[in-house]
Copies of this chain bind each other. A is one copy, B any other.
Amino acid sequence: MNTNTPLPASGALAEVQRHLLDGKAATIAWLESYLRLQSVSADPAHGPDMAATRAFLVERLHAMGLADVQLLDAGGEAAVFGQWLGAPGRPTLLIYAHYDVQPPEPLALWRTPPFEPTTVGDRIYARGASDVKGATAIALAVVESFLRVHGGCPVNIKVFLEGEEETGSPSLRALALRHAALLRADAVLSADGGRASALVPTVNTGARGNAQLEVRLRTADKDLHSGRYGGAVRNALHEAARLVASLHRADGSVAVPGFFAGVRAPGERERADTAAFPYDEAAFFADVGALPHGEAGYSARERITLRPALDVNGLYGGHTGAGGKTIVPCEAVVKLTVRVVTGQDPAQVIHAVAEHLQALTPPGCSLEVTALHEGSPASTLAPEHPLVRAAETVLAQASGMRPIHVRLGASVPITSLFKETLGMDTLMFGYNLPDEDVHAPNEFFRLSSIHDGLMAWSSLLHELGHFSAADFPLATTPTQEI
């Protein structure tokens, strides 16, 4: 350890944590205001809500004492940025979160309005509560308390709040390259990517990457009367069903040729870590009313963290309204997500899926495959990285247990994107839990996670202050393209 400024006293942390607990009601109130903003990035109709959310965050970053507060933009939804660089020699951490949320549909299944935060016991229900406005409130409150109590943080801070995470961050790469100087830090601390368990402390050391595509199949110029054409022409939904049914084997494993190119079998350590994780498989499935189903030879937990997956997220064609309509549909649309693991190239995987579907498309039909975004590879954080060591220290102190290394099944594309563009490693230190119905109706966040998160984030910043910038792996020079 190479320190060239005085270490913060541990009394300093205690004072900050008292301040955080005294201000917890205000932190929750701010979170509620944040949750009322309908920042749905996937739906262009919510453009004004996205802008209102940015204004709300700009005001907050100013108020908490950050400098250089501004919107950063590269043609898509702008990101919100602010920084405090008053700890020379200490590491600089880019705190990442995203202010956009998933669409709330299907609305009929929400028990409370998705954009009216509703507290029931320990739970606050709202779209985005868990993913990821709750953890954002924690991170901002911690930085603010350090600045208020001590006039400074143990590390240098850059806050970066993205607006395109839920749509696959289409312009984030260009944005990171355009604003490289402003964004470059020694590492990224992400409020996104939550805890794997409520029972044991875990350190996230990686995540599956992903890629999304949309497939449009056409069998005729128009919908046809099923009495006049039924039995004599292809039906777009029959063909789409045949294509989708071809994607998986009976056990649920992916049957697309080339899909597994570059995938290596999980190592001993990965399988041991996965096995050590106290995972109630029966409860995992019972909680969602599903039975286990997947690639033979792997546990359910291995399937969702160490193995790739391919899921149809949406499919529609023909008459989708009330009642019947006697047509032979001419078009079907299929939306898919690929989850990739270390070694897979998302672009190659998309290509393999597109080739497979194209090969099965009959003559006279047209198939159009569109990648919804360029995709992101899986990410991996080395066990000896200062971020992992600091997180282990903090979590061990808080829990009295040895933290377990886990990998996420869900993708945090920024992790690999920041690595590729700015050479920065990312520690995911979100405080949400796996049962909080993210991306689904009745999403919620736990009020107790706010308490735990405030303590852990303040401890982590304090702990990272024990390192110097030089302790972090050298950032590679990014490609200078814009």
Give the contact-size bracket for chain A: 35 or more
Counted per complex, copies of this chain come to 2
State the Cβ distance, A435 to closest chain B Cβ, in Å.
10
With A222-B109, A289-B220, A337-B324 known as contacts, the answer to whether A315 contacts B313 (CB < 8 A) is no
Q: Is A227 an interface residue (CB 8 A)?
A: yes
A301: nearest chain-B partner, CB-CB: B232
State the Cβ distance, A28 to closest chain B Cβ, in Å.
25
CB-contact partner of A231 in B228, B237, B295, B325, under 8 A: B295
CB-contact partner of A440 in B105, B224, B303, B324, under 8 A: B224
Q: Is A212 an interface residue (CB 8 A)?
A: yes
A229: nearest chain-B partner, CB-CB: B304
| Contact segment of A63-71, A404-412, A472-480 | A404-412
CB-contact partner of A222 in B247, B289, B316, B326, under 8 A: B289
Whether B244 and A237, one on each chain, are in contact in the complex, defined by CB atoms closer than 8 angstroms, is: yes
Q: Is A55 an interface residue (CB 8 A)?
A: no
Q: Is A363 an interface residue (CB 8 A)?
A: yes
For the complex, give the distance between the alpha carbons of A295 and B337 in Å. 35
Whether A309 and B103, one on each chain, are in contact in the complex, defined by CB atoms closer than 8 angstroms, is: no
Whether A227 and B411, one on each chain, are in contact in the complex, defined by CB atoms closer than 8 angstroms, is: yes
For the complex, give the distance between the alpha carbons of A201 and B414 in Å. 69
Which residues of B sit under 8 angstroms from A234, Cβ to Cβ?
Answer: 252, 290-291, 293
Whether A339 and B291, one on each chain, are in contact in the complex, defined by CB atoms closer than 8 angstroms, is: no
Interface residues of A in 283-317 (CB under 8 A from B): 285, 288-295, 300-301, 303-304, 307-317
Which residues of B sit under 8 angstroms from A316, Cβ to Cβ?
Answer: 315-317, 320
**Interface of A toward B, CB cutoff 8 Å:** 42-44, 102-103, 105, 109, 167-168, 207-208, 210, 212, 214, 219-235, 237-238, 240-245, 247-248, 252, 285, 288-295, 300-301, 303-304, 307-330, 332-333, 335, 337, 339, 362-364, 372, 408-411, 434, 437-441
Can you list 28 contacts pairing A with B, beta carbon distance less than 8 Å? A219-B290, A224-B290, A225-B410, A226-B309, A226-B439, A229-B304, A230-B309, A230-B339, A231-B295, A232-B292, A232-B303, A234-B252, A234-B293, A235-B311, A238-B248, A238-B252, A241-B241, A241-B245, A291-B363, A293-B364, A312-B329, A313-B319, A313-B326, A313-B328, A315-B317, A316-B320, A320-B320, A326-B439
| Ranked 4 nearest A-B pairs via Cβ | A227-B410, A231-B309, A221-B289, A291-B364
